[in-house]
Amino acid sequence: ILCYKMCFTLLCILFGFFLYIQELILEKFGIYVDHHIIRLALNLVPSGDTSKLFVKDLTFEKINVRIYQPKVPSAGLRRGVVYCHGGTGRFGSISKKFNRKGIWTYVNLEAVKRTMEYRLAPEHPFPTQFDDCLAATIHFMRTAEDYGVDPTRLIVCGDSSGGTIAAAVCQALVNRTDLPRVRAQILIYPFLQAVDFNLPSYQQNHAMPPLLRKWTIYLGLRYLNIDVSAIDGLLEGIHIREDLREKYSKWLSPDNIQDEFKIRGYEPPKLLPCVEEYSTKAQGFLTPTFSPLLAEDDVICQLPECFILTCEHDVLRDDGLLYKKRLEDNGVEVTWCHLKDGFHGVLAIARMYRIISFEAGLRGIDTIMYICWRLNQNES
């Protein structure tokens, strides 16, 4: 098993390195093929076992959705789960990789799950992905009982950039008095801010696959259709105006991160003056839709109960830690799971072909199963 894990890790490193290098070279000639390559690779991953579920594919308002309903009858209305897949808005499908996750083995048996095949960039520019997921969530709320779901027991969930979308959707719904309140949100190693790429987790895990620091910025720039030559400027922080830097510091200061997460190394970066060119380019980065950590307190304080999962060996670890603190400071109940031996994407590959397993991923899945059970007990 150790040999398989080492081989798989090596393949991840080589694949990520290849994509990063080939894009930097090919894009100079106007050739953009990365999203096609990754989409093809993801489509080769087999789907999960759905023998205990009714599966129905639907389309509304040009959005493809898939409904998973338990075959086991229920005495009453079930919980509902809206799931936003990851993939930096450019990859992912409702039919392959993201439905293989063991996370939902339990949830699918206890809830009706709706996954959205939101339209992908670059064919459909940001914020189409958020707009699609918000529209699909609202539609589910309004038609929940048609699928045997209690609209007041809806969980919005996402992993990685899907966690970004899930957090943004929950924020967009807090003032919707015409809709039921979201019961809870589940954010799995989410990307939550594009202000500071020198937080301790970014420094410590800058070369940790599959989500290297520059690769993270690169994918964000491509997602927003911004020239990737801005990578180094964003890394240096010269895209943040002085007035915004002061405002964001109370939410994003490394002082808000426990010292135990700085033991592996952290050096406060040198603050450089803002460069107007980069500030203009990065405006889309600083919206709550792209960076939910930047939402105002009057929005944060209204959010539903939240479960956040972070991994030690992940550049996005501190995004989760900072969002956890913001929520708690605003009186929102938070349950936090930290995988000390986890890395970005580990839940997605916790079980692979019954050959490879990652204990960190399995623990993360077990924790989410427990959270869903606890929510069910609280509602009984």
Quick one: 36 and 60 in the same domain? no
Residues whose CB falls within 8 Å of the CB of residue 374, separated by 6 or more in sequence, listed in order: none
Residue 231 belongs to some domain of the structure: yes
Our answer to whether residue 344 is catalytic in this structure is: yes
Query: Which of 170-184, 295-309, 361-375 bottoms out in mean pLDDT, i.e. has the lowest?
Result: 361-375
pLDDT class of 53 with cuts at 50, 70, 90: confident
Please pick, among 132, 196, 314, 318, the residue that the annotation labels catalytic: 314
* CA neighbor of 169 nearest in space, from 157, 183, 177, 178: 157
- 26-38 pLDDT, tens digit per residue, is 555 544 445 666 6
Residue 380 belongs to some domain of the structure: no
Q: Which range marks the domain in which residue 4 is found?
A: 1-44
Residue type present at position 208: M
* CA neighbor of 379 nearest in space, from 80, 138, 146, 84: 80
Answer with the residue of higher pLDDT: 5 or 254.
254
On the question of pLDDT at 106 being above 50, the answer is no
Pairing mode of beta strands 149-159, 53-60: unpaired
CA angle 305-310-313, nearest 5°?
Answer: 175
**Chain-centre distance of CA 91, in angstroms?**
13
On the question of pLDDT at 10 being above 60, the answer is no
Residue 81 is part of a domain; what is its CATH number?
A: 3.40.50.1820
Residue 26 belongs to some domain of the structure: yes
At 123 the pLDDT is 87
How many residues belong to the chain? Answer: 380
Residue 298 belongs to some domain of the structure: yes
Please pick, among 35, 139, 239, 344, the residue that the annotation labels catalytic: 344
Our answer to whether residue 313 is catalytic in this structure is: no
At 100 the pLDDT is 44
Quick one: 32 and 119 in the same domain? no
Quick one: 35 and 62 in the same domain? no
Quick one: 1 and 83 in the same domain? no
Quick one: 20 and 120 in the same domain? no
The single residue listed with the structure tokens 């009453």 is 76
For the chain, the average pLDDT equals 85
CA angle 100-70-164, nearest 5°?
Answer: 45
The single residue listed with the structure tokens 């992993």 is 159
Quick one: 16 and 61 in the same domain? no
Contact call for residues 152 and 120 (beta carbons, < 8 A): no
Our answer to whether residue 95 is catalytic in this structure is: no
On the question of pLDDT at 1 being above 90, the answer is no
At 127 the pLDDT is 95
Quick one: 10 and 67 in the same domain? no
Quick one: 130 and 252 in the same domain? yes
For the segment 335-361, the average pLDDT, to the nearest whole number, is 86
Please pick, among 34, 93, 160, 201, the residue that the annotation labels catalytic: 160
Say how many domains are in the chain: 2
Residues whose CB falls within 8 Å of the CB of residue 114, separated by 6 or more in sequence, listed in order: 65, 66, 67, 68, 80, 81, 82, 83, 136, 140, 147
What is the SS3 string spanning 311-331?
EEECCCHHHHHHHHHHHHHCC
pTM of the entire predicted model:
0.90
Residue 123 belongs to some domain of the structure: yes
Quick one: 94 and 156 in the same domain? yes
Element (H, E) at 58: strand 53-60
pLDDT class of 356 with cuts at 50, 70, 90: confident
pLDDT class of 96 with cuts at 50, 70, 90: very low
Residue 172 belongs to some domain of the structure: yes
Query: Which of 40-49, 144-153, 215-224, 360-369 bottoms out in mean pLDDT, i.e. has the lowest?
Result: 40-49
On the question of pLDDT at 211 being above 80, the answer is yes
For the segment 170-194, the average pLDDT, to the nearest whole number, is 97
Quick one: 159 and 265 in the same domain? yes
Looking at the DSSP assignment, which residues form a beta bridge with residue 158?
Answer: 84, 187
Quick one: 111 and 218 in the same domain? yes
Question: How far is residue 257's CA from residue 13's CA, in Å, rounded to a whole number?
Answer: 29
Quick one: 95 and 167 in the same domain? yes
Work out the burial of residue 290: count CB atoms within 10 Å of its CB; fewer than 13 is exposed, 13-18 middle, 19 or more buried.
buried
